[in-house]
Amino acid sequence: MAETRPEQAAPVADAPPLGPTQLVESLLFVAAEPVAVDDLSRALELSVEAVEAALAQLADALRERGIRLLRHGARVQLVAAPEAAAAIERFVGGGPPASRLSTAALETLAIIAYRQPITRAGIEALRGVDSAGAIRTLLQRGLIAEVGRLPHVGRPVLYGTTDEFLKQFGLASLDQLPPLDIPEVSSNGQPGAPSAS
């Protein structure tokens, strides 16, 4: 009788069929970038509602594992659990200290995260100082992006956070940001009354 070698896997025909949740997990596993829910729906030939149900089930199943389902709007992605950050940093060799964000960049990022979309004038009205350098740094790191323009004179750029921001801070969505009082900003960049998010 021939000995079965470990590298020989059971034929695919013997495996039980995969359900929507397992299929969604497989597609997200092989995707290099965040995937739109509509694209998952088309690939799996399922309704968007069925894909959303599968995503909810997958997110629930992953709570006890080392990966999480990251969601940014209508796009989803599998990422490492934030609780594993220290071990991952040791494993891959953490970046140099220069890779940390400055206080100015962190202040700017917080304002954008809580008040997006927001213009540079709005950010500077809240910070009280020029924020061009901090915005440039955040754009280079991929933590923020231009998300549109105001329909006013000069059409100022509106900034918002990215999927990379969610990954770096271990958030599944912006809804997980802790409450914080940051004043509202009018369309002309003037701060208003504080408002809890």
Model pLDDT, residue 180: 81
Quick one: CATH architecture of 100-196?
Orthogonal Bundle (1.10)
- The pLDDT of residue 87 is above 60: yes
| Shared fold status for 18-83 and 100-196 | yes
Q: Is 115 exposed, middle or buried (0-12, 13-18, 19+ CB in 10 A)?
A: buried
- The pLDDT of residue 96 is above 80: no
Model pLDDT, residue 171: 82
Backbone angles phi, psi at 143, to 5 degrees: -85, -25
CA distance 172 to 66: 14
**Domain ranges for the chain:** 18-83, 100-196
pLDDT band at 139 (very low <50, low <70, confident <90, very high): very high
Helix runs in the chain, H state only: 20-30, 37-44, 48-62, 85-92, 103-115, 120-127, 132-140, 163-168
Q: Does CATH number 3.30.420.40 belong to domain 18-83? A: no
CA distance 171 to 180: 16
Q: In whole angstroms, what separates CA 14 from the centre of its chain? A: 37
